[in-house]
A and B are shown apart, each in its own frame.
Chain A
Amino acid sequence: MKTVSTFLSLEAPGPRVRVWLDGAPLHLPHGANLAAALLAAGVNTFRGTACSGAPRAPYCMMGACFDCMIEVEGETRQACLLEVAEDMRLTRPGAPGDA
């Protein structure tokens, strides 16, 4: 997985916890906004669309667009409305392998 983020963190983030993304471990700041934490970790694609498989990533960050949808413990949720918790199991519906 690419780890170069297109974003830079202004401040050193707090303590990190392990989460699982498509089965691989990832260390994200505890309690951080999940969509933001994934972007900061260099995750550039969150899902592929159901119709054409086109890649998507967070667009609005306010719960409106649903382009940040990701599976959390098997349920489809909006990553921009969640906070990072230890051992979260995330899967990206229809996302290409390493984007």
Chain B
Amino acid sequence: MHETDLAVIGSGPAGMAAAAEAAGLGLRVALLDDQPRPGGQAYRDVDRVGPMRGAVLGPDFVDGRRLTAALDDPRISHLGGAGVWAIEPGFTICYSRENAARLLRARRVLLATGALERPMPVPGWTLPGVMTAGGGQILLKQAGLVPRRSVLVGTGPLLYLFAVQMVRAGINPAALIETQTRGDLARALRHMGGLFGGWGYMTEGWRLLRVLQRAGVPRIVGAQEIVIEGEDRAEAVRFRRGGAQHRLPCDTVFLHHGVVPNPQAARSLGLDHRWAPRQQCFVPVCDAWGEAAAAEGGVEGVFLAGDGAGIGGARAAELQGRLAALRIAEGLGRIGSDERDGRAKPLRRQLRRELAVRPFLDAAYPPFAEALRPDDTTMVCRCEEVTAGEIRRAAAQGCPGPNRLKGFLRAGMGPCQGRVCGLAVTQILAEATGQSPDETGYFHIRPPIKPLTLGALAALAETGEAVGTDKTAPGQGDAA
């Protein structure tokens, strides 16, 4: 079996930075990602993007090449197209690559699995033509596709960034339908302190809004009663603003109201999670190095970095990745604690600056209330087609939490394992039962956390453990 010092799951900014830092300190690193190429969500496919697409996506995007270039180190083996389906204590990493299951042994594991879009169940959100804004951006980054006639619905800076990228590509979105209110902004201004720390982000935000204004992209703020209309696909977005009803025809609707930590890998290891009221999501419990608190009967030596450990954005993810690598290298005897702390000091200073703007952003762009409390007929679990009303009825019949819900309904039992609806299910149940989200809990996540085809398993069974030897030459980053 292939053995390594550190297995990093996820090659976004957190995973890439951690791998480079750890390799620089002498560790052998395996960097696994189910995407064929490094970059993660923020820098998806950054190495394949030509000058034209690079100009559309902007300098912050192409800056990701700094991170992919640093993977060119003989101690790093980048395993692209490797979906990790189980992590066993000790650690054995089970993954599928080229339709064969493989195993790899590592002394430490770092989860850098990033974020998911916050579920946004509004009427019509399952229709073809409705996507997440992040998904729409991936089409642009990875395939150079721009929607012909689109509407962006929801809240947050990612919507502005995507809209500006469309403007630069020469096809303006028809409108931004935003759900935050002027009251939210007023409340957010109480976090002025953070604004000074995050000044760069604020000026960037203003710059994006100026571009939209000059391009004549209409912005509707404080939209309510949002409904996506269409028979077999999205045809229009209907909403109310103040006393007036509006209807905007379109082919594509992009939804977004924030991102939340991707819980699958951390939950599958039984790591402790706590509800974060300000961010309206669960976050895994870990220390300032990203080391997960060993839960009762839980696993030790698991680290987390990046948005998977709590939303901080791409630059914070990078810094957290490096901090985790320092602690891991120290734990494995590569550096002393003085050196670790010395190297960590400037990183922590930068991280504080990066995170300063978050309380402001969380308050200025809160999740869309109607999507947190969908009406009874709105579909919540897309896989098994379960509505909010069915979940509330189960609660009224005594269902206390998501796992018991599986005895009532099939919510969360479809192929996505609750990735899309999990948080919404917890919040709807919590409200219906009057419990806190912590008391309500979350779906138990059990391996395989990535689909495992029979063919892939057969390949593992045929050759036993030996199949785990991945022939990828070290450093064969698809990064080059």
Binding site for B on A (CB under 8 A): 5-11, 13, 32-33, 36-37, 39-40, 44-46, 49, 51-52, 54-67, 69, 75-78, 80-81, 83, 96, 99
Contacts and interface: CB of A to CB of B under 8 A. Distances in A.
Contact of B145 (A9, A56, A69): A9
A64 B416 contact: yes
Residue among B50, B140, B142 with max Cβ neighbours from chain A (10 Å):
B142
Contacts of B262: 64
B132 A59 contact: yes
Given A62-B134, A81-B34, A49 B128 contact: no
B385 interface: yes
B12 to A, nearest CB: 11
Q: How large is the interface on B (under 10, 10 to 19, 20 to 34, 35 or more residues)?
A: 35 or more
B171 A56 contact: no
Interface in B127-152: 127-132, 134-136, 138-140, 142-149
A52 B135 contact: no
Identify the 6 closest CB pairs spanning chains A and B, nearest first.
A36-B143, A57-B128, A61-B135, A6-B251, A61-B138, A10-B144
A40 B148 CA distance: 11
A18 B345 CA distance: 55
B419 interface: yes
Contact of B143 (A40, A60, A77): A40
A65 B451 CA distance: 12
Contact of A55 (B128, B142, B416): B128
B53 A66 contact: no
Interface string B295-309: 000000000000000
Contact of A63 (B34, B145, B147, B385): B34
Contacts of B416: 64-66
Nearest to B132: A60
A4 B145 CA distance: 14
A51 B128 contact: no
Contacts of A99: 128, 232-233
Nearest to B171: A8
B267 to A, nearest CB: 14
Given A60-B117, A65-B382, A7 B131 contact: no
5 contacts: A9-B143, A55-B128, A63-B34, A65-B382, A65-B416
A29 to B, nearest CB: 8
B385 A11 contact: no
Contact of B134 (A33, A60, A78): A60
Contacts of B450: 63
Interface of B: 34-36, 41, 50, 52-53, 56, 83, 116-117, 126-132, 134-136, 138-140, 142-149, 169, 171, 232-233, 251-252, 262, 382-385, 414-416, 419-420, 450-451, 453-455
B290 to A, nearest CB: 22
A8 B146 contact: yes
A65 to B, nearest CB: 5
A70 to B, nearest CB: 13
Nearest to B56: A10
Contact of B147 (A7, A11, A55): A7
A66 B138 contact: no
A95 B451 CA distance: 22
A45 B230 CA distance: 14
B131 A61 contact: yes
Contacts of B455: 75
A80 B45 CA distance: 13
A45 B233 CA distance: 8
Residue among A51, A52, A67 with max Cβ neighbours from chain B (10 Å):
A67
Contacts of A39: 139, 145
Contacts of A83: 36
A17 B420 CA distance: 33
A62 B131 CA distance: 11
Contacts of B135: 58-62
Contacts of A56: 126, 128, 382
Given A33-B142, A61-B135, A54 B169 contact: no
Given A44-B233, A66-B416, A99-B232, A6 B129 contact: yes
Contacts of A77: 451, 453
Contacts of A62: 41, 116, 134-135, 138
Given A39-B139, A59-B132, A83-B36, A45 B232 contact: yes
